């Protein structure tokens, strides 16, 4: 009889223990932050990796084919203030001609300050880079733009953040840029 009571007690403890673990599973990822994970994102034939907490975004530019952003904070226009836009200029002229034309216009506008213009590489192909600041609605933003030609199109990978946060976001921008597949 004692044997049956002992087996019954063990069975009850097992049932209680199993139900506890079913209702309270052990989570081994408690301290993994979504921003520390990367996910693959694709849109309009372009694929890239972004931090796990980033989202699809809207862009003010009609030439944008893909836009992603950190989910926080928003600028005064309601747009995500830390973002990456990829724009496409179809049937474009030579890369250097388009690049120089664009930044010559920006240089004449006092709301823009060109910090750097020069050659770069993108996926082992020649590219051009421009770093600059812009002032809009009292907000100062910093931008990094990588220009690359593919067939008859030019793609511009434009990374933007408030100037005060730009250096902090630069490694994330470089990670995204290096993952882009056009």
138-161 tens-digit pLDDT: 899 999 999 999 999 999 999 999
The whole model's pTM is what? 0.80
Q: From the CB of residue 144, how many other CB atoms can be counted at a distance below 10 Å?
A: 23
| Sequence-distant (≥ 6) Cβ neighbours of residue 125 within 8 angstroms | 148
C-alpha distances out from residue 6 to 9, 12, 17, 57, Å: 5, 10, 16, 62
Q: What is the pLDDT of residues 40-84, one digit of tens each?
A: 999 999 999 999 999 999 888 899 999 999 998 787 777 789 999
Sorted by where each starts, the structural domains of the chain and their CATH numbers stand as 31-179 (3.40.1000.10)
């Amino acid at each position: 009889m004692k044997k049956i009571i002992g087996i019954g007690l063990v069975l009850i403890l097992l049932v209680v223990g199993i139900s506890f673990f079913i209702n309270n599973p052990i989570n081994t990822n408690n301290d993994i932050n979504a921003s520390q994970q990367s996910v693959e994102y694709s849109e309009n034939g372009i694929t890239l990796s972004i931090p796990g907490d980033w989202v699809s975004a809207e862009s003010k530019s009609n030439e944008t084919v893909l836009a992603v952003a950190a989910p926080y904070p928003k600028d005064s226009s309601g747009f995500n203030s830390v973002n990456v836009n990829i724009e496409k200029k179809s049937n474009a002229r030579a890369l250097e001609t388009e690049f120089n034309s664009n930044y010559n216009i920006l240089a004449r506008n006092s709301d823009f300050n060109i910090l750097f213009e020069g050659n770069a590489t993108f996926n082992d192909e020649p590219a051009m880079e421009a770093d600059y600041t812009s002032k809009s609605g009292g907000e100062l933003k910093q931008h990094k733009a990588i220009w690359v030609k593919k067939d008859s199109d030019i793609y511009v990978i434009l990374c933007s953040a408030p100037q005060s946060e730009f250096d902090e976001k630069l490694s994330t921008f470089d990670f995204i840029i290096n993952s882009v597949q056009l």
